[in-house]
Amino acid sequence: MKRFLTLLLAVFVCTTGLMAKAVITFSKTSHNFGTFSDKKPVTCVFTFTNTGDAPLIVHQALTSCGCTVASYTKEPVLPGKTGTVEVVYDGKGKFPGKMKSAITIRSNAKNRKVLLFIEGNMTGK
């Protein structure tokens, strides 16, 4: 009986720990640069909050093209705290016109994959 209760307690503790999850919540998921020149890279910052009850770890920020680079908070983000994803778009040498790029954020959160978007109209001037 004592072993059974110990086993039951261990299962309860493990299950409770598994239920704790981070949740990544972005203040916005898209950014429009408007009209901008291809002469200088443009940058935007996406801010997120861990609205869950476990530490949040961002594993990757994958971009849909080579002209977009994303950097992100590398340290674990505790519940209630914030982190950032900085996105730089460099259109030098690319065709002018409307652009749209996606950034895929992968993390240990309950919502493991989140898509962010940047867009704008790039001129050759």
User: Does 12 fall in a domain?
Assistant: no
The pTM for the full model equals 0.82
pLDDT tens-digit map of 28-46? 999 999 999 999 999 999 9
Domain boundaries, position 83: 21-123
Number of structural domains in the chain: 1
Whether 76 maps to a domain, the answer reads yes
Alpha carbon distance 8, 13 (integer Å)? 9
Q: What is the DSSP string of 93-108?
A: TSPPEEEEEEEEEEES
**Are residues 125 and 37 in contact, defined by beta-carbon separation less than 8 angstroms?**
yes
- 15 lies in a domain? no
- Look at residue 112 and tell me if it is in a domain: yes
The DSSP H or E segment spanning 22 is: none
Q: Is residue 13 part of a domain?
A: no
Residue 68 lies in a domain: yes
Instruction: Supply the CATH number for residue 53's domain.
Output: 2.60.40.10
Report the relative pairing of strands 30-37 and 58-63 from DSSP bridges: unpaired
pLDDT digits (tens, 9 = 90+) for 58-71: 999 999 988 999 99
